[in-house]
């Protein structure tokens, strides 16, 4: 796996159960996955030589993130390195303009959008859909970075004047956000987890509710079918997460990710097969596992670095374990910085009121040392 963040760290846990050994390409020896895996190479994912050395002897190479340059991916593929997902699929998770063009071609419901090179492009689009609009860097954005909501031409001047390739999207009046996560194998088998609701704060996912509360069955199936169709049409292998805007009337595709995704972390504790195991089964072309949820209501809450109240992290962990013995904690081996995702907690139960309260309380102990 290229990249050694928390996704690689949790994939390594899943690899162990499958009798596998995950090789990791880490930027730094203290990256989260590098701290816990046996077979770690240090090198940068933009260094073609480092990628070549890393790939030598790997049965298959897969990814913790989308940041390997597409040209490197094509070079490696041409040299016979087995990359999954492959460069042709992965491009649609790397390049928002390519993704929007492709999904438009598939008639997938999506926000209205346009490529933007000049202020004239932007103003013409906004005149059509109305301000505010959402500017997005076509490449490299994540967790709210590379996204600008602009209410007027004046507010957009700096972004549009930069050399970053951009697209613009209408600002959809959404009720909530959903995610449909599926996995696809080279054989063509696809499996879907229950559709989840993702609760965002400041552009960062803070909570995932599984299955999405009060989502009618036909809408859930529709979202799963959209994700299955995208995975199949784009030739994805491994996990595909489709982030959706739920406007109350329809579901519009927001983003794609082709790797284990934050909206699927609940599956480690809440589903028969976790997204990390499923990603490995998919890229290794094993039959996929059951995606049944283990409880009527599951809540995953991200733990963000916060105000610690002067309390050491280890002491906060003690308090959290004492306060919530049912919370499943997953720590990423990262130092604490404000707003940084340092772990997550998952709680299973019968009702969303209950699991949200317990998960939020556990996450607060770890973030802020507060009840």
Given the complex with a copy of itself, which of 105 and 325 has the nearer CB atom? 325
Instruction: Map tokens 């031409």 to a residue.
Output: 153
145 annotated as ligand-binding? no
Rounded-to-integer distance, Cα 370 and Cα 299, Å: 19
Count each helix (H run) and each strand (E run) in the chain, helices first: 12, 15
Rounded-to-integer distance, Cα 42 and Cα 29, Å: 6
The yes or no reply on residue 15 touching a copy of itself (CB under 8 A) is yes
59 annotated as ligand-binding? no
Which helix (H) or strand (E) is 224 found in, with range? helix 217-233
The yes or no reply on residue 36 touching a copy of itself (CB under 8 A) is yes
Hey, is 187 helix, strand or coil? coil
Q: Which of 104, 85, 226 is nearest to 167 (CA)?
A: 104
The yes or no reply on residue 353 touching a copy of itself (CB under 8 A) is no
Please state the closest distance from residue 11 (CB atom) to a copy of itself, in A. 11
The yes or no reply on residue 296 touching a copy of itself (CB under 8 A) is no
Please state the closest distance from residue 295 (CB atom) to a copy of itself, in A. 8
Q: CA 260 → CA 11, 111, 254, distances in Å?
A: 8, 24, 17
Find the length of the chain.
371
Tokens of residue 133, six digits: 């609009």
In the list 144, 151, 161, 287, the residue contacting a copy of itself (rule: CB under 8 A) is 287
Residue list 260-279, contact with a copy of itself (CB under 8 A): 272-273
Rounded-to-integer distance, Cα 180 and Cα 254, Å: 11
In the list 1, 4, 25, 34, the residue contacting a copy of itself (rule: CB under 8 A) is 34
Please state the closest distance from residue 182 (CB atom) to a copy of itself, in A. 15
List, in sequence order, every residue forming a beta bridge with 330; answer none if it has no partner: 344
The yes or no reply on residue 292 touching a copy of itself (CB under 8 A) is yes
The yes or no reply on residue 109 touching a copy of itself (CB under 8 A) is no
Please state the closest distance from residue 331 (CB atom) to a copy of itself, in A. 3
Q: What DSSP state is assigned to residue 68?
A: S
> Where along the sequence are the contacts to a copy of itself (CB under 8 A)?
9-10, 12-13, 15-19, 21, 34-38, 40, 272-273, 281, 286-290, 292, 294-295, 317-318, 321-322, 325-326, 328-333, 343, 348
Annotated binding site for ATP: 96, 136, 169-172, 177, 254-255
């Amino acid at each position: 796996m290229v990249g050694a963040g928390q996704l690689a760290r949790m994939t390594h846990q899943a690899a162990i159960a499958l009798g596998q050994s995950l090789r990791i390409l880490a930027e730094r020896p203290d990256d989260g996955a590098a701290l816990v895996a046996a077979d770690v190479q240090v090198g940068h994912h933009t260094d073609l030589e480092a990628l070549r050395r890393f790939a030598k002897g790997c049965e298959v190479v897969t990814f913790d993130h989308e940041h390997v340059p597409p040209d490197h991916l094509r070079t490696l593929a041409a040299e016979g390195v087995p990359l999954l997902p492959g460069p042709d699929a992965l491009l649609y998770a790397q390049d928002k303009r390519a993704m929007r063009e492709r999904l438009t071609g598939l008639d997938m419901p999506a926000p209205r959008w346009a490529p933007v090179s000049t202020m004239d492009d932007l103003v013409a689009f906004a005149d059509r859909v109305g301000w505010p609009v959402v500017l997005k860097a076509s490449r490299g954005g994540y967790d709210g970075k590379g996204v600008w909501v602009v209410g007027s031409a004046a507010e957009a001047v700096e972004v549009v004047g930069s050399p970053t390739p951009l697209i613009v999207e209408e600002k959809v009046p959404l009720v909530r956000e959903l995610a449909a996560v599926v996995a696809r194998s080279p054989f063509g088998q696809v499996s879907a987890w229950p559709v989840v609701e993702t609760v965002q704060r400041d552009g960062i996912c803070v909570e995932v509710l599984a299955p999405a509360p009060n989502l009618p069955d036909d809408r859930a199936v529709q979202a799963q079918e959209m994700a299955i169709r995208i995975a199949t049409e784009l030739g994805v292998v491994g996990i595909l997460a489709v982030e959706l805007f739920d406007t109350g009337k329809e579901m519009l595709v927001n983003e794609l990710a082709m790797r284990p995704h934050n909206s699927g972390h609940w599956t480690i504790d809440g589903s028969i097969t976790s997204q990390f195991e499923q990603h490995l089964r998919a890229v290794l072309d094993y039959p996929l596992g059951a995606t049944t949820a283990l409880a009527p209501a599951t809540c995953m809450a991200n733990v963000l670095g916060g105000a610690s109240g002067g309390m050491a992290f280890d002491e906060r962990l003690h308090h959290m374990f004492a306060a919530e013995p049912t919370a499943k904690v997953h720590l990423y081996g990262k130092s604490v910085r404000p707003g940084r995702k340092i772990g997550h907690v998952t709680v299973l139960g019968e009702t969303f009121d209950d699991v949200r309260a317990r998960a939020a309380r556990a996450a607060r102990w770890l973030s802020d040392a507060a009840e």
